[in-house]
Chain A
Amino acid sequence: MLKLHKWKIALLGIATNIALIANLGAGDVKTWAEINWLDVFSEGGLATLAVVWLMLILHSRPSGRVTQLLSLGLSCIALAGFQDVLDEFIALPEVVVWDHWIESGFMPIGLILLTIGIYHWHREQLIISEQLRKRERLFREHRDLNFTTNLSGANYLRKQLQHELAMHQSESAPLALLLIDVDNFSQINRRYGNSEGDRLLQSLGELLLLNIRRNDLLCHYAGDRFAVVMPTTGKLMAETLAQEIANAVRHFAFKTYNQGESVFHTVSIGVALSVSDNQTVDTPEALITRANKALLHAKEKSQCAIHLAA
């Protein structure tokens, strides 16, 4: 990402160099004894950290208005900090006032720009969260994202179920968990290669996202198995939705990368509902186990079957 921002970085480099030259031209370098090292460290630290933040932000963001604001703000702060450090090494005569302007002028300007930037970042994040809604709910954990599908894994699913089950307990509404397994997945790996298998999983992930409701959550459980958490969903609704998903997958003509050949697949689905009586608290593990058992039953029945846990 840094390539996109090379002008911003170059500009900051030029500005600091101009400041350095101006300082050297106007003032005299201090002797070792005159330098206060504590000040150098604390003021230099601020300038260095501002640059580090700037680099992290530039490295992780595409160009755009929010990035401009954030980087301009941090650049001003870095520049003010840099002038502050230079003061420790170079003694400027009293008549020079511009150094004071750099120091005290750029800092508040930088902070204001940064604040505006962060505000817009927040607005932007709300929109992105809405887009991610079916992929994550309530909390975020990037380390649990599956590399192929960019969906959260089983760990995230368990944590999420923990939250949801507690909520559903108090509302005494059932929650449905679907485990969706691709039939004969190993065949596509053997026939078309492992990267085709990965591409299929990725495409299926997208397809599933299109076929679930706004409040449902899709996770990549493991291997060729996906999980869908359906809050406040009863038996009939869960079965209907599962059938819709199975139909969608069956009609999905996956195209291979090289030949563009259409490959069709089916899925088996295991459905489990949370236990809704007030005596026992359902655990994520128990719910997942029931869904897994239901899935095994579905697989035994036939391909493309749906089984509801007893």
Chain B
Amino acid sequence: MNTTLSPDNYMPGSFYEIDTPFIAAHQWPAALIDLALGRGQEEHKLLRGTGIFYADILSGNLTVSPQQCFQLIENARKHHNANELAFLLGHRLFPGNYAAAGNALVNATNLQDALDSLTSYKILLVPLLNPRIIYEQERLVIYWQGTGANEATQLFLLEMMATALGALSRWLGGEALPWQFYFTCTQPAHTEQYEVHLDGEVHFNAAANAMAIAREHLHRPWKNTSPSARVIAQRAAEQQLAELQLQQGFLAETYTYLHNNIHSNPNLEKTAEDFGMSSASFKRKLKKHNSHFQEQYDSVRKDLAIYWLSHEGWTNEQVAQKLHFYDAANLRRAFKKWTGALPSKINKHC
């Protein structure tokens, strides 16, 4: 086995899986359960197949896995009045019941601060989605990556987070910000919820699930927050993170690995080896997270291609070479498959 590595190779860190129980049940899951019950849903139907018992949540130390949360969302979505749930939950998400991490977030002194907290404490605040923050010329973009949910459940989470961050910045900043929201799905039937609950423009059929804000809004001071409370909360949240000993989800870690090692054109075997498991185990793990290697690899290459083409101004040939395509024509074909549009049609908007 070849163990020598080039010095700039990224090696995977600790990650949680879809069945790792680390999410405090009295935080996000309890908020969803209370909301759904308050909207006329029945407890036994809502909790069916989740392995969660309502009484256990009240103990305050039950932890659940992402898989259990996904099942919970799926159950909640079955109710005929469920379209507004994700949005209503988004409004209530912050400050919510997030202990130190939540306190750090709502005592941020400006939007930039808040987003820093969001990414630092992402496994405490948004364990079911992975936020990636990218600065693109005059704006900041938060890309949302899945952690193994199916498409409908994923949309629920995206709707929830879009509403939550919109509501947070409006609440602390005192005014609605002109966010741009991007969803890869086609326009859903319940567009009225997007119109009412999301401040800003909403785009469907986008190349990525994301939300963007002009940079000028990042450093406007938020007046009613407490910097000292923030420092204390941050310390406590760091402590909590250190105890958890997890960096991010399995898919996010795979993505980070592929993204950082794209120069060496990593394949399944090499990736599995670096993750310390056999190809078969690695494949099984991806399957458990509703994904497969090619999908992950393509999503990395798609994001890089879009970024290089639209923000770095590279030519198709340069991008094709960097992404290990035989030539520009092959890149164009793949790009069309990933995004539905040719590279020449891609503008800088997600």
Contact = CB atoms under 8 A, between A and B. Distances in A.
Contacts of B170: 186
Residue from the set A144, A147, A181, A221 with the largest chain B CB neighbour count within 10 Å:
A147
Interface string B149-186: 00000000000000000010011000000000000000
B39 interface: yes
Contacts of A288: 192
A186 B167 contact: yes
B193 A223 contact: yes
A55 B193 CA distance: 37
B190 interface: yes
A189 B91 contact: yes
Interface in A98-145: 143-145
B40 interface: yes
Interface in B163-221: 167, 170-171, 189-190, 192-193, 195-197
Interface residues of A, number: 23
Contacts of A256: none
A279 B81 CA distance: 38
Nearest to A155: B189
* 8 A-B pairs with the lowest CB-CB distances in the bound complex, closest first: A154-B192, A223-B196, A222-B192, A222-B196, A143-B80, A147-B39, A225-B196, A222-B193
B92 interface: yes
A221 B196 contact: yes
B113 interface: no
Nearest to B189: A155
Interface of A: 143-148, 153-155, 181, 186, 189-190, 194-195, 198, 221-225, 288, 292
Contact of A147 (B40, B92, B171, B195): B40
Nearest to A288: B192
Contact of A223 (B38, B40, B87, B92): B87
Describe B's contact surface by its main secondary structure: helix
B84 A223 contact: yes
Contacts of A198: 38
Contacts of A189: 91-92
A222 B194 CA distance: 9
Nearest to A289: B195
Contacts, number: 49
A250 B38 CA distance: 28
Interface in B20-56: 38-40
A224 B196 contact: yes
Contacts of A223: 84, 87-88, 193, 196-197
Interface string B67-100: 0000000000000110010011001100000000
Contacts of A292: 195
A192 to B, nearest CB: 13
Contacts of A224: 196
A146 to B, nearest CB: 7
A223 B91 CA distance: 10
B87 to A, nearest CB: 7
A181 B80 CA distance: 24
B189 A147 contact: no
Contacts of B197: 222-223
A223 B189 CA distance: 16
A293 B189 CA distance: 19
Contacts of A147: 39-40, 81
A288 B189 CA distance: 14
Contacts of B39: 147-148
Nearest to B190: A154
B82 to A, nearest CB: 10
Residue from the set B92, B167, B189, B196 with the largest chain A CB neighbour count within 10 Å:
B196
Contacts of B88: 194, 223
Nearest to A189: B91
B91 A222 contact: no
A221 B192 CA distance: 7
A155 B92 CA distance: 25
Residue from the set B80, B87, B170, B192 with the largest chain A CB neighbour count within 10 Å:
B192
Interface string B129-150: 0000000000000000000000
Nearest to B92: A194
A150 to B, nearest CB: 11
B105 to A, nearest CB: 15
A133 to B, nearest CB: 23
Contacts of B195: 222, 225, 292
Interface string B254-278: 0000000000000000000000000
A225 B91 CA distance: 15
Nearest to B194: A222
A222 B88 CA distance: 10
A153 B197 CA distance: 15
A186 B193 contact: no
A144 B170 CA distance: 30
A283 to B, nearest CB: 14
Contacts of B84: 222-223
A147 B76 CA distance: 14
22 contacts: A143-B81, A144-B80, A145-B81, A146-B81, A147-B40, A148-B39, A153-B192, A154-B192, A181-B196, A186-B167, A189-B92, A198-B38, A221-B196, A222-B190, A222-B196, A222-B197, A223-B84, A223-B87, A223-B88, A223-B196, A225-B195, A288-B192
Contacts of B167: 186
Contacts of A154: 190, 192
